[in-house]
Structure 1
Amino acid sequence: MRRFILLTLTSLTCAAAAAGEAAKRAPFDPPDAAAIPASALGDSIRLGQHVLTQTQVYAKAWVGNGLNCTSCHLNAGRTPNAAPWVGIYGVFPEYRSRSGSVNSLQDRVNDCFIRSMNGKPLPNNSPEMEGIVAYMAWLSKGVPTGVDVEGRGFRRIVSAHVPDEAHGKQVFADKCVACHGPDGQGLPAADGGYAFPALWGPKSFNIGAGMARLGNASAFVRWNMPLGQGGILSDEEALDVAAYFTRQPRPDFADKGKDWPKGDKPSDSRY
């Protein structure tokens, strides 16, 4: 009986702790796009939105591939479990193990530009960077400082499945080719950009990008792909297809030797 009581108390304690963690998260409730103010601040917010959604047009000088920021941050950063920007403004500065230091929001944005966009950093005082920060701050309106929102980042897959790249190639052929092409090089658009992004090759993200890691890629695919049909793939299919496309050739990252300086590199790093 004593053991049963202790186990019950332990279970209740764990449940209470989990509930407490959940209570610390703010609801996912981004403002309506029509609510951007008609003011100088609103102009900056709109510029930031354009930079993030049409990066090839509004920030071409800093981009080295064929992607837009919203190739991964879906629906202008307004989709939960797709690395949304809702609430992100108030959690920075934030310690990040990859750099081994405390990063500002501008640092985090530029991390994506040099990795996911395979480009170079924006000046912090540029209208483009100021607009990005203004847009993310506007999306985070009403979220308490230091509090995560529901759906931040990616909804991780918890599975003992060993990824099978050969099966992942078949999943890619069955579910992904229509948008990303048989060679994974994306679907070109009439304006010279891409209707759907390249998943590997010179126009895709480099090996230092977060999406080059199996955990991130499989979680993104599991809940967001095929586009508009997120959730139809199983955990195993998402892991397999992510293992397949993340291991395809892609640009190198020159500063990869500086990552995880404190020795806590994750097992799914590409280097």
Structure 2
Amino acid sequence: MSNLFTLRLSIALGGILLVATGLAQASSNNTRYAVVDKEGQPLPDYVLPSDTLIPDEPNAEQILYGKRLLNETKTLMPDNVGSHMNCNSCHIEQGTKPYGAPYINTFNSFPQINPRAERMFSLEDRINGCMQRSMNGKPLDEDSNEMQSMIAYMKWLAQDVPHGGRVQIDNSGPIDKSLVPDPDRGKAIYALQCAACHGSNGEGKRDASGTMAFPPLWGDESFNLGAGMARTYKAAAFIKYNMPMGVNTHGGWGEGEVLNDQDAVDVAHYFTHQPRPDYPAKIYDFPSGNRPKDFRD
């Protein structure tokens, strides 16, 4: 059996599973976005590629492995992941959903200044930041197969958009940061809207095989205090536009817009301020002292 046939069979079976669970990636003929170059001039539209095209790539195995790593980070890299999180716990629909931290522009956006570190970051730096914060784990060797495979998937997802060009898809939506959070109200919203998936005590939910199906939002198995998701307004923006899941009868899951800004801020403040692992190196964040108001000490 040839490697190419095996790759095509793997994708076909995976596609059946995704459709059956309602999480199929949007097909390439109905999801398109405008593109501009680094000077802001229009380029040909970006069309979201179908995974069935991956076997046609010369590095198909690497791209597919990177895709798996982003979906199954804890399972495939247990020595580097301390939490029970996967990269795609926060990057919705495998990094393709507007407002859900998509990967579509990621490859073409680096190197860039990281606001938290106030220095230039490579894409490897950015991934390792997530490994140490959201994954509460250890950085990867920058030349490792795992690191380079995740980057290969992000590069493939960018398609032929030139470096510095930008697909017009939003990473996150706006949230009113002037709102004062009410954690007691947030606790009630959490019980009503979030606990069914993430657990009454933020412990997450496992499937019948014991695999974590919905990530823990606090406790020892969750992201640490250095993660962006541990900040009230960062988390609130994610919640407003992506959560709760399973509320629509059309389109993809996690479409959001169920909670208003105040609801999202209240519930975000409630769960982000529950006990979770520390990240001692956060003392070096924002070295100039210009820290956002939801920075976690």
Q: Same fold (TM over 0.5)?
A: yes
Deviation at 1:39, TM superposition (A): 5.0
In the alignment, which residue of structure 2 is the partner of 1:75?
93
In the alignment, which residue of structure 2 is the partner of 1:220?
238
**How do 1:252-267 and structure 2 match up within 5 A?**
252-267=278-293
- CA deviations on 1:196-230 (whole Å, 9 max, x unpaired) are 01000001000000101112100110010011431
Deviation at 1:263, TM superposition (A): 1.8
Instruction: Give the letter for the 1:267 counterpart.
Output: K
Instruction: Give the letter for the 1:150 counterpart.
Output: Q
Distance in 2 of aligned mates of 1:252 and 1:115: 9
- CA deviations on 1:103-148 (whole Å, 9 max, x unpaired) are 0001000100000000000111111111000000011113332233
Deviation at 1:28, TM superposition (A): 6.3
Residues 25 and 149 in structure 1, CA contact (< 8 A), matched pair in contact too:
no
Q: Secondary structure at the match of 2:166?
A: coil
| 2:129 corresponds to 1:111 | yes
In the alignment, which residue of structure 1 is the partner of 2:269?
243
In the alignment, which residue of structure 2 is the partner of 1:50?
68
In the alignment, which residue of structure 2 is the partner of 1:192?
210
- Return structure 1 stretches of 4+ with deviation > 4 angstroms: 21-28
Answer with 1 or 2: which has the greater Rg.
1
Select between 126-135 and 225-234 the one with higher mean Cα deviation.
Answer: 225-234
| 2:142 corresponds to 1:124 | yes
Partner residue of 1:133 out of 151, 158, 180:
151
* TM-score between both structures, scaled by the size of structure 1: 0.87
Select between 198-207 and 138-147 the one with higher mean Cα deviation.
Answer: 138-147
Instruction: Give the letter for the 2:276 counterpart.
Output: R
Q: CA RMSD in A?
A: 2.1
Distance in 1 of aligned mates of 2:205 and 2:268: 19
Q: How many residues of Structure 1 are paired with residues of Structure 2 in the alignment?
A: 252
Q: Secondary structure at the match of 1:102?
A: strand
Residues 67 and 198 in structure 1, CA contact (< 8 A), matched pair in contact too:
yes
Residues 177 and 233 in structure 2, CA contact (< 8 A), matched pair in contact too:
no
> What 5-or-longer segments of structure 2 have no aligned partner?
1-38, 248-255
Taking a change above 3 Å as real, the CA distance of residues 22 and 197 of structure 1, as seen in their structure-2 partners, is farther
* TM-score between both structures, scaled by the size of structure 2: 0.80
> What 5-or-longer segments of structure 1 have no aligned partner?
1-20
| Structure with the bigger percentage of helix | 1
Distance in 1 of aligned mates of 2:200 and 2:57: 46
- CA deviations on 1:48-72 (whole Å, 9 max, x unpaired) are 0000001122222210011111110
Deviation at 1:264, TM superposition (A): 1.8
Residues 90 and 147 in structure 1, CA contact (< 8 A), matched pair in contact too:
yes
Taking a change above 3 Å as real, the CA distance of residues 142 and 265 of structure 1, as seen in their structure-2 partners, is same
Distance in 1 of aligned mates of 2:269 and 2:44: 33
| Structure with the bigger percentage of strand | 2
Relative contact order higher in (CA < 8 Å, ≥ 6 apart): 1
Instruction: Give the letter for the 1:240 counterpart.
Output: D
Distance in 2 of aligned mates of 1:149 and 1:70: 20
In the alignment, which residue of structure 1 is the partner of 2:10?
none
Q: Secondary structure at the match of 2:55?
A: coil
Partner residue of 2:259 out of 219, 229, 233:
233
Deviation at 1:254, TM superposition (A): 2.2
Distance in 2 of aligned mates of 1:264 and 1:142: 37
Residues 66 and 193 in structure 1, CA contact (< 8 A), matched pair in contact too:
no
Residues 55 and 69 in structure 1, CA contact (< 8 A), matched pair in contact too:
yes
